[in-house]
Amino acid sequence: MAFELPPLPYEYGTLEPHVDSMTMQIHHTKHHQAYVNNLNAALDKFPELKDLGLVDINKAVGTDKLPTEAATVIRNNGGGHYNHTFFWKVMTNPSNTNGPSGAAKEAIEAAFGSVDEMKTKFNAAAAGRFGSGWAWLGVKSDGSLAITSTPNQDNPLMSGLPDAAAMVPILGLDVWEHAYYLKYQNRRPEYIAAWWNVVNWEQVSANYEAAKAGTVPL
């Protein structure tokens, strides 16, 4: 079955003024759509991979499960499709974001000392990612929370990354320039700081519960 561009769970202007409507429209309908199209085109050449779901495709990156001649295009576009599908869901209208709560908040405080300290470390990972990539908060194999960043459209589900990057994502931030350049130009730290105003903490909590239960949230 071919992959499809998922609809956003809100309107393009919902994240204003922190993420502008034009950026969201271009990001979703052009960039994300291109990853979907390119992934489908690659999988058309390898029908044996078509039964894999998006999570399994990403887990297969860096392993011998992917044909060598398709590994790079599937890594880039399968990663792009997963990352963006995940990203849209961890954002919401600014009026709906109230900060972490419950088990997720307790885990953040246990791992980092406080929510503010987690944000400081996350911001550093996002701002320090050279070129294009992502910052992630995730659950490691021992159940603890950690922060990492990945280049391009890589994500912590993929094999062959440094051990510190291996985790199940529960929160992720796109720091490719196309995610913020229309509004923030080269001011990536300003974009990162503003983005916290649209984080969907209810989704993050649900992602955390899923990850603790052994499920990869998508």
Residue positions in the annotated binding site for Mn(2+)? 27, 84, 174, 178
201: CB partners within 8 A, 6+ apart: 97, 98, 99, 100, 101, 104
Task: For the beta carbon of residue 131, count every other beta carbon within 10 angstroms.
Answer: 9
CA gyration radius for the chain? 17
Q: Which residues contribute to the annotated binding site?
A: 27, 84, 174, 178
192: CB partners within 8 A, 6+ apart: 123, 126, 127, 173, 175
Phi, psi of 145 (to 5 degrees): -90, 150
CB-CB contact of 108 with 201 (8 Å): no
